[in-house]
Chain A
Amino acid sequence: MVVAVSIGAVGIPVSDVWRILLHHVTGRGAAGDPALDQIVWTFRAPRVALAAVVGAGLAVAGAVLQTLVTNPLADPVVLGFSYGASLGAVLVITLGGVAIGGLGGLGVSGAAFAGALAAGALVFALGQRRGRLAPTRLVLAGVAVGYVLLSVTSFVQLLATPTELRTVMFWMLGSVAGAQWSQLPVATGVVLASTLVLTMLGRRLNALLAGDESATALGVDVNRLRAVLLVISALLTGTVIAVAGGVGFVGLMIPHLVRLTVGADHRRLLPLTALLGAVYLVLVDLLSRTVNRPNELPLGILTALLGAPFFLWLLRRDKGLDTA
């Protein structure tokens, strides 16, 4: 992460980065060059930290949703959460006429969060059958709700001015470029707490893999577990998308990659998924600001561009998925 902070439009030696970070964290040592200090502490450090938190959050949400709906394709995008967040954000950006950054950024984040939760609640309500949450229904409801939200989002975009549209595009493709220290405590707290709670539920998540009837016979209250998981994953997705926009493919790719290496036991899977998701998005963000310097690419473009071919390669290797 320190190395990631040192690389960017302006290269800064790793030793300087260490010194600046140490100075801010411990208050000791010299402050050094104020320009470098500002780049490191005000811009890059929060950005790298946010990328890590967002990567971890999206990857964990994906892993849980895949188990929740017993479908290897599930992630926050498939279940419509991401589209809910997009609609909320786009509404604020265009109709609210608020610019990203500063107070306006808070408005966009809040709306994205509300959008993700609302989409989650809708999918939750539609995914029930005889009072039980049915996996296939949940997926279908998620996809349908997602399409509706996407079409409304597209319609709202038609009303946007070109400047607003550019902001919308950048937001929908995801970015941690505007990261500020103030965004970190809440996002970090939610991601850490969710990962912890979900890992504690790991044994029950494992039982869910055996199918609903068997999980019930193993002592799991399947319906209640599904409800809890849905709430946590919507909360997780909402929080993360609110600060970073629609970064796709992390939630789909990272959990599968971890499963292939350490197996499906959630007590190992979830913490490692969080870790790998964090590392992955820090690297992707690093790429996003270096491949085309000094311009930046949205994260979503890179996650899909890097993720999809890699994912297809994994699919070809993994024989277990053939029978799924």
Chain B
Amino acid sequence: MKLTVDRLHITLDRRPILRDVRLEAEKGDIVGLVGPNGSGKSTLLRTVYRSLRPAGGVVEVGGDDVWRLSARAAARRTAAVLQDTGAVTGLSVIETVALGRTAHHGLLGRDGAEDRRAVAEAVARCGVEPFADRDYATLSGGERQRVLLARALAQRPRLLVLDELTNHLDIRARFELLDLIRSTGITTLAVLHDLDLAARLCDHLVVLHEGAVVAAGPVLEVLTPDLLADVFGVRGRTERHPDGVVRLTYAARPLADGREAEPGR
């Protein structure tokens, strides 16, 4: 489902967090949202999954302003995988995945065949069957991320919002998860800290810097040496390898003006 963010303004405690942000994701696109810490990435995501009402501008999912939809209606279109808060829920893995069906029910709805199918599919797709009956709190960080992705897929969304999905994962798990997301074909807006990973996963990148979009477009056009220096404070370049994968190469030292390079996450 198409995502359109237009002239978005966000102010928190009278401090502007986002200024005139515009962004589009066509149906089936994977758009990466990158930028240094504090650039407003997570705030932008919050407006998309309808947690934060913008002071100005609109967020449209499938052509409808999300704030004209009810919380439930919006959640039937958009699912989010957010950073794990570490809260002890007391729910098992399968119960956690089943939370994805919340928006598909009113007060009196009971779990039906459709719910069971959606949960079973999500569980199988994300490979969480081996620990389906365990307490969510006892899982490792990587296992939790897969469960949370399964919960989002059980929601049967047409737009997926991901916040640092691969943070806790080892390199193989990262690639597997990225492949998994690609294979769903769902329109995706993903905040990624790791530029290299963003370059691999995404069709397009949007670069946020101090609350404004400073670049947007295909990966190779966006991640220029100048942008890497100006926004991220590192020397580097991108190139497409013969296998088709876009790779980033950083220079060993940070830029001379004392700014540290992004630690290689």
Contact = CB atoms under 8 A, between A and B. Distances in A.
Contact of A320 (B75, B88, B108): B88
- By DSSP majority rule, is chain A's interface helix, strand, loop, or mixed? helix
Interface in A206-263: 206-207, 209-214, 216-221, 259, 263
User: Which of A221, A264, A265 gathers most chain B CB within 10 Å?
Assistant: A264
Nearest to A259: B90
B232 interface: no
User: Which of A209, A210, A213, A218 gathers most chain B CB within 10 Å?
Assistant: A218
A204 B75 CA distance: 13
Contacts of B86: 323
B51 A216 contact: yes
Contact of A321 (B88, B91, B107): B88
User: Which of B72, B87, B102 gathers most chain A CB within 10 Å?
Assistant: B102
A214 B95 contact: no
A323 B88 contact: yes
A218 B155 contact: yes
Contacts of B89: 209-210, 264
Interface in B77-118: 78-80, 82, 85-92, 95-96, 99-103, 105, 107-109
Contact of A217 (B78, B107, B109, B135): B78
A166 interface: no
A141 to B, nearest CB: 21
A203 interface: yes
A324 B102 contact: no
Contact of A207 (B49, B90, B99): B99
A105 to B, nearest CB: 36
- By DSSP majority rule, is chain B's interface helix, strand, loop, or mixed? mixed
Nearest to B50: A216
B91 A265 contact: yes
B174 interface: no
A214 to B, nearest CB: 6
Contacts of B125: none
Contacts of B55: none
Interface residues of A, number: 27
B102 A219 contact: yes
Contacts of A324: 87-88
A311 B210 CA distance: 50
Contacts of A263: 90-92, 95
Q: What band does the interface of chain B fall in when counting residues whose beta carbon is under 8 Å from A?
A: 35 or more
Contacts of A321: 88
B103 A219 contact: yes
Given A214-B80, A218-B75, A219-B72, A209 B108 contact: no
A180 to B, nearest CB: 35
B46 interface: yes
A217 B161 contact: yes
Given A263-B92, A265-B91, A210 B71 contact: no
B105 A265 contact: no
A209 B90 contact: yes
B107 A207 contact: no
Contacts of B247: none
B261 to A, nearest CB: 30
Given A220-B102, A265-B91, 8 more contacts: A207-B99, A210-B87, A211-B82, A217-B51, A218-B151, A219-B71, A220-B72, A264-B89
19 contacts: A70-B87, A201-B107, A206-B91, A207-B99, A209-B87, A213-B46, A213-B80, A213-B82, A214-B80, A216-B51, A217-B82, A218-B155, A220-B75, A259-B90, A263-B92, A264-B89, A265-B95, A323-B88, A324-B87
Q: Which 10 A-B pairs have the closest CB atoms?
A: A219-B75, A219-B103, A264-B90, A217-B80, A209-B89, A217-B49, A221-B71, A219-B72, A216-B51, A218-B102
